[in-house]
Amino acid sequence: MSEKPREPRHHFSPRVVEISEKLKELDLDPYAVVNSQFLCDWLGISLQTAKKWRMEKTGPDYIKYGAKTVRYKVTEIKKWLDDMERPSKED
């Protein structure tokens, strides 16, 4: 009797898989930038939250081209995420 292949335990949406694949590509380029929508999809936040973070200067550093175009360096997002990390409490 042959064993049936196991189904993956977690099913990710196609968008999550797409973001994951894009991040793998972007890791190869230290100057890679992404737009606000990509940041929001990556972090699971709304565009309004990203805008609020920019206004309050609490989110990842960003680059602004012209009056409206905003981009984020992938390296800066990762640095910001690392800085946000807190040790868990030991029980």
Pairing of strands 69-73, 33-35: antiparallel
Answer whether residue 12 is part of any domain.
no
For residue 40, being part of any structural domain is answered with: yes
Does residue 76 lie in a domain region?
A: yes
In a domain, 19, yes or no: no
Does residue 43 lie within any of the structural domains?
yes
- Output helix, strand, coil percentages for the chain, rounded to the nearest 5: 45, 10, 40
What is the extent of the structural domain holding 63? 31-83
Q: What is the pLDDT of residues 48-58, one digit of tens each?
A: 999 999 999 99
- Tens of pLDDT, residue by residue over 28-71, are 788 899 999 999 988 889 999 999 999 999 999 999 999 999 99
Q: Which pLDDT band holds residue 27 (cuts at 50, 70, 90)? A: confident
* Amino acid found at 11: H
In a domain, 63, yes or no: yes
* In-domain check, residue 91: no
In total, how many domains does the chain have?
Answer: 1
pLDDT at 86: 80
More confident residue, 27 or 79: 79
User: Whole-prediction pTM value?
Assistant: 0.73
Task: Decide if pLDDT at 3 tops 80.
Answer: no
In terms of residues, how long is the chain?
Answer: 91
